[in-house]
Amino acid sequence: MIDKRPFSSRVVDGVEQAPSRAMLYAVGFKKEDFKKPQIGIASTWSMVTPCNMHINELAEAAATGADEAGAKSVVFNTITVSDGISMGTPGMRYSLVSREVIADSIETVVGAQGFDGFVAIGGCDKNMPACAMAIARLDRPSVFVYGGTILPGKERRDVISVFEAVGLHAAGKVSDIELQEVEATAIPGPGSCGGMYTANTMASAIEALGLSLANSSAQNAVSNAKRKDSYSAGAAVYHLIERGIKPSDILCLEAFENAITVVIALEGSTNAVLHLLAIANAAGVPLELDDFTRVGLRVPVLADMRPSGQYSMSELIDVGGIQPLMKILLDEGLLHGGCLTVTGHTIAENLAGVEPYPPEPQVIRPLSNPIKKDSHLIVLYGNLAPDGAVAKITGHEGLSFAGIAKCFHGEEAAMRAILDGQISKGDVVIVRYEGPRGGPGMREMLSITSAINGLGLAQDVALVTDGRFSGGSHGFVVGHVTPEAFDGGPIALLENGDVITVDAVQREITVELSEEQLNQRRAQWEQPAPYATKGVLAKYARLVGTASEGAVTDN
């Protein structure tokens, strides 16, 4: 027989659960608390990265909000790792892996402790989609809170300024002293990387999904607004429990289309493709790679934000955040206004009283003058990527590129060649064996794209990889190539001198080789030894699916 009691009642009610209650008294419960809904507060606080260094304070605010609404809050932690710190090193292999570990750990604690609902607070690239995946899996009343964006550094610098300074240094355009000054002044304090990189992209996407409170994604990390948002999230979960509203009432295909629409309008990161596919998988929603093309054909790019544009998230916040943008999209018929959200209201109801942007905001273009009339997230197919690849092409780079392949086994080899001056105009840099299984962990190529940009080759060199890209990458870049090299995909068969063509209009990525030539090379190909044979990387490589399916481990 199915037990329909509240989850917490199964843990604390009855004579037989006296030991459970005894242990909970020791962590601060009072007798009356056992009659209240229990709300977990999943905190990703750590001093590993500035993105998450302040989240303990937000967790305390969320706990207070839950308690004052009538629940009993319980704060717990999970891990995080920093993409920005591990970028360009073997440690970056753990980045995407951490998404699965974090989702698993939140699911484990909430499931084991019998929480009736929870708040999940994330502030860096992988813990944010991980929180949403756990919310979808557990299907208990839940609210996601974004830790907030960082303020700009000196001279409007951010972390990408430092990565690109490395390339400028290699080109002799920045001295040792100037490089040190950039690195010392780019990161002024708490918060996630400041452009429309992956953190701000995913915060906006999760809000558009309906899993966070209105305007949660557009707040500075160091602000009263962010603390109030966290407090309100704790109270909101209590009210969701009262009303019986669960993530499965919110997460539907139309909600994911809303998220894709907002990501495109904001010119967001390619990682959104990977993460939204993963969240949809957790929710049992049939989202597919081609849905990004279908939605993208009708949605314009409107935000002039870094890395391809000029402005930071804090500057978008100054003119009103993403709510006025969502209102524009709703009024244009580009959002599904009837989708339910964690406020208990629909998207349309949440946006009803939103004030428009001030006249002529530079950060957001009008619909009549978009940066690009359709999506910058281009899904490509062809004999180089039979199962798909994802490019971020804004039009600044041009819409097609043909060049000569220069092939590298892994990121380090490619980076050495770039800094040693071995890459020239017209080259297509192929970085392979960096896919979900082959990396493992699908490392981001921000160091490489930043070095190429710093050398002044962004318009003249393309990069194709079975790995992925940071939200801070820009230029003619194609990632998520599937099948990956480790699985014997065509990218493994390329040789120096092959002619590669990327056509964003036709949505094709091809190599000038016949099927017979590819088959001849395939017959000679041997799968390399795995990077790891034990531990979390090895387990991940054995379990993970393809990038075109979100690189999830619970298919």
- Considering only CA atoms, which of 323, 309, 220, 221 is closest in space to residue 262? 323
Can you tell me the distance from the alpha carbon of 235 to that of 346, in angstroms, rounded to the nearest whole number?
A: 18
Task: Please report, in angstroms and rounded to a whole number, the separation of the first and last CA atoms in the chain.
Answer: 28
Can you tell me the distance from the alpha carbon of 90 to that of 410, in angstroms, rounded to the nearest whole number?
A: 10
CA–centroid distance for 395 within its chain: 22
Residue 505 one-letter amino acid: V
429 Cβ contact list (under 8 Å, min separation 6): 406, 408, 414, 417, 418, 423, 448, 452, 461, 462, 463, 464
* Whether the bond into 300 is cis, omega within 30 of 0: no
Can you tell me the distance from the alpha carbon of 173 to that of 167, in angstroms, rounded to the nearest whole number?
A: 9
Greatest Cα pair distance, the chain, in angstroms, is: 75
Can you tell me the distance from the alpha carbon of 264 to that of 291, in angstroms, rounded to the nearest whole number?
A: 13
- Whole-Å CA distances, 260 to 111, 294, 401: 30, 10, 26
Q: Which of 161, 470, 473, 548 is catalytic?
A: 470
Edge-to-edge order in the sheet of strand 38-43: 72-77, 38-43, 117-122, 142-146
Task: Write out the E strands in 221-357.
Answer: none
Can you tell me the distance from the alpha carbon of 371 to that of 386, in angstroms, rounded to the nearest whole number?
A: 30
CB 102 within 8 A of CB 131: yes
206 sits in which H/E element: helix 198-209
508 sits in which H/E element: strand 508-511
Question: Can 450 be counted among the known catalytic residues?
Answer: no
Can you tell me the distance from the alpha carbon of 358 to that of 374, in angstroms, rounded to the nearest whole number?
A: 24
526 Cβ contact list (under 8 Å, min separation 6): none
Can you tell me the distance from the alpha carbon of 530 to that of 230, in angstroms, rounded to the nearest whole number?
A: 43
CB 441 within 8 A of CB 97: yes
Using DSSP bridges, classify how beta strands 400-409 and 385-392 pair: parallel, antiparallel or unpaired: unpaired
Residue 521 one-letter amino acid: R
Can you tell me the distance from the alpha carbon of 478 to that of 388, in angstroms, rounded to the nearest whole number?
A: 10
- Counting every residue written for the chain, the total comes to 555
Using DSSP bridges, classify how beta strands 476-479 and 499-503 pair: parallel, antiparallel or unpaired: unpaired
Please report which residue ranges of 396-514 form alpha helices under DSSP H. 411-419, 446-454
In the block, tokens 């996630």 appear at 192
Residues annotated as catalytic (active site), given as ranges: 470
